[in-house]
Amino acid sequence: MLAKFRRYFIQTCTQLSSMLALRENVPSFSFRYCNTKSDFRIYEFTDKYLSHRKAEFTEKLEIISSAQQPTIPIYRVTNSEGQFIDPNYDLDLTEEMALKMYQNMVTLYQMDKILYDSQRQGRISFYLTNTGEEAAQIGSTAGLNDTDLIYGQYRETGSLLYRGFPLENFMHQCYGNAKDIGGGKQMPIHYGSSEHHFVTISSTLATQLPQAVGSAYAFKRFNKMLRYSKFIN
């Protein structure tokens, strides 16, 4: 049934493309369904912006040289069917944890739509969505301990959501009202919560890098001092 639907969908869209192409200044387009690594490419993007170059997939995380590989490969863990390419990547998640991650991704997407519309209507002054980055945020947060500090940026809302930050608190912060944890003193989407070990977002880009390094160094020194004091006592 699914295969029949795919064939019907591709055929219908291709026919629609041909009809539109008959009109003046309307480019033709095509749809492709691919199963394998060698077949699947980001055709339209690479043809338009990278000319003859094609973006390859890779299953290895490694530092590469532009002299060895002129086009940066796309790292992936699963294929286009959602199956693990390397069985060692299978984390054997519990159904409860997998469901929680999925629910948070869907919730984040829906919250984005509401708050983005609010910004376009002039109800709030500023908003950036997390569209397409939900899994990266929530998946990485799920791999941390709940007490690990997170230094986020505009598009790490999913990390805070996954740790249980209430939806109403997101709304209070974006609207800058009296119920906001920060008292309405921050720009929208500049979330922060000491309870959830999420450091308040700063507007300047990349400030999180030296801040996180400094915190890690402080924690390392603190743990050494703590062990030393216990030894002395």
Range 149-176 burial, b when 16+ CB lie within 10 A, else e: ebbbbbbbbbbbbbbebeeebbbbbbbb
> Beta strands 74-75 and 57-58: pairing type?
parallel
Higher per-residue confidence, 35 vs 184: 184
Q: Give the pLDDT score at 184.
A: 93
Compute the chain's Rg from CA coordinates: 23
Higher per-residue confidence, 191 vs 18: 191
Residue 38 backbone phi and psi in degrees, to 5: -70, -30
Residue 35 has pLDDT above 90, yes or no: no
Q: Give the pLDDT score at 179.
A: 95
For residues 188 and 129, the answer to whether their CB atoms sit within 8 Å is no
Q: What is the DSSP letter of 72?
A: P
Residue 54: pLDDT band (50, 70, 90) is low
* Tokens representing residue 92 in the block: 């054997």
Could you count the other beta carbons within 10 Å of the beta carbon of residue 38?
Answer: 9
Q: Give the pLDDT score at 176.
A: 95
pTM for this structure?
0.68
Residue 38 has pLDDT above 50, yes or no: no
State pLDDT tens for residues 73-95: 888 888 878 888 888 877 788 99
Residue 142 has pLDDT above 90, yes or no: yes
Q: Give the pLDDT score at 65.
A: 79
State pLDDT tens for residues 146-186: 989 999 998 999 999 999 999 999 999 999 999 999 999 99
Q: What SS3 state is found at 228? A: helix
Q: Give the pLDDT score at 230.
A: 39
For residues 142 and 92, the answer to whether their CB atoms sit within 8 Å is no
Q: In angstroms, rounded to a whole number, what is the distance separating the alpha carbons of residues 212 and 152?
A: 10
Residue 108 has pLDDT above 70, yes or no: yes
State pLDDT tens for residues 114-130: 999 999 999 999 999 99
The answer to which of 12-21, 141-150, 212-221 has the lowest mean pLDDT is 12-21
Q: In angstroms, rounded to a whole number, what is the distance separating the alpha carbons of residues 92 and 104?
A: 19
For residues 130 and 112, the answer to whether their CB atoms sit within 8 Å is yes
Q: Give the pLDDT score at 1.
A: 55
Selection from 178, 216, 221, 180 nearest residue 200 by Cα: 180
Q: What is the DSSP letter of 182?
A: T
Selection from 164, 171, 167, 115 nearest residue 141 by Cα: 164
